[in-house]
Amino acid sequence: MNDPVVIANGLSRRRVRYGVLPRMQEVLGRVVECRFTAAPGDGTRHARDALRSGCDWVIVAGGDGTINEVVNGFFQDGRNVRLDCPLSFLPLGSGNDWIRTLGVPLAVPDAVEALARTSARFVDVGLARFAGVTGSAEQRVFVNFAEAGVGAALVRRLNERRARPNRPLYLLSTVLTALGYTARPVELRFDGTAPVPSSPLLSLIVANGRFFGAGMHCAPMARPDDGILDVVTIGDFGKLELIVKIRKLVRGDYLSERKVAHRPARHVEASSSNPVFLELDGDMVGSLPAEFTVLPRALQVRC
């Protein structure tokens, strides 16, 4: 049996090396190898190297972006190359939205202790095909959500500023970005049926998990192991209307609003005649047009 491999965000190097890692080895009673990310794509590369070496357990210590990179290391051409190897999570990010859905403790010491009591389960994964930042066709998997619209515009702006805001500042930034964002017409097609007439949208959310934006309850109906994606569209709210309803958006009480729609699907196609940015698990990856497909029970997790 090979030792577990921890793939950790390099920004947490000191905390992981001198705090998390020693305690984890005590809890598990096993030697734990640790690899740190230093540049975009490192999480994917480290995961693939670990899987090729026969690793029997990968643990991600980071946020949603690090988790997304590591999960992509498990997949090639839309297929998990090591379905027998489970993945666990330690909350060292600013949002930690995916692990909220899984029920992983949000306090790092508690999450480390919980590793000794984990059980395996299989969850769905989303596969996205889209126009990359250079316009070329690309594909990536996601575990939590895909979002096109105001959320991706915010992520793009934060990336340009190299900002990592805490939850209150993230929520404030979301509101300010939404107030300055012009809704774009988006045409949707669900499971190969006739296209839904395009309408101006602030946001298109394709959810596998329930939270995004540092705890915003965007898809309270989503279940990561039900074999479907939950598609939520947020229409063209006026500025005053948006300010009045923002608390409902954060709490997930907004689905009854007339400008909000929800539809479950296994395959979704989205396109627009206007530029609409796209993010996957909080990482700005490109723009529409895009296709989203659910890969049922395609990832084994231990939590």
Pick the CATH number of 125-296 from 3.90.320.10, 2.60.200.40, 3.40.50.150, 3.40.50.1820: 2.60.200.40
| Residue ranges covered by each domain of the chain | 5-118, 125-296
> pTM to 2 decimals?
0.93
Helices (H), the chain: 13-15, 21-28, 42-52, 64-74, 97-102, 108-114, 150-161, 167-179, 239-251
What does the block give as tokens for 151?
């959320």
Say whether 39 sits in a helix, a strand or coil: coil
For residue 109, report the phi and psi dihedrals to the nearest 5 degrees. Answer: -60, -40
The helix or strand, by DSSP H or E, that contains position 300, with its residue range, turns out to be strand 283-302
Would residue 213 be called left, alpha or beta, if left means φ above 0 and alpha means ψ between -120 and 50 degrees?
Answer: left
5-118 and 125-296, same CATH topology: no
Pick the CATH number of 5-118 from 3.40.50.150, 3.30.1330.180, 3.40.50.10330, 3.10.270.10: 3.40.50.10330
Say whether 241 sits in a helix, a strand or coil: helix
Identity of residue 112: V
Secondary structure (H, E, C), 242-290: HHHHHHHHHHCCCCCCCCEEEEEECEEEEECCCCCEEEECCEEEEEEEE
Say whether 292 sits in a helix, a strand or coil: strand
Tell me the CB-side half-sphere exposure of residue 82, using CA atoms within 13 A: 21
What does the block give as tokens for 193?
């049926």
* Count of helix runs (H) and strand runs (E) in the chain: 9, 16
The position carrying tokens 């206007």 is 274
- Residue pLDDT tens, the chain, 303 long: 578 999 999 999 999 999 999 999 999 999 999 999 999 999 999 999 999 999 999 999 999 999 999 999 999 999 999 999 999 999 998 789 999 999 999 999 999 999 999 999 999 999 999 999 999 999 999 999 999 999 898 888 776 666 566 666 666 677 777 778 899 999 999 999 999 988 899 999 999 999 987 778 889 999 999 999 999 999 998 887 877 777 787 788 888 898 999 999 999 999 999 999 999 998 999 999 999 999 999 999 999
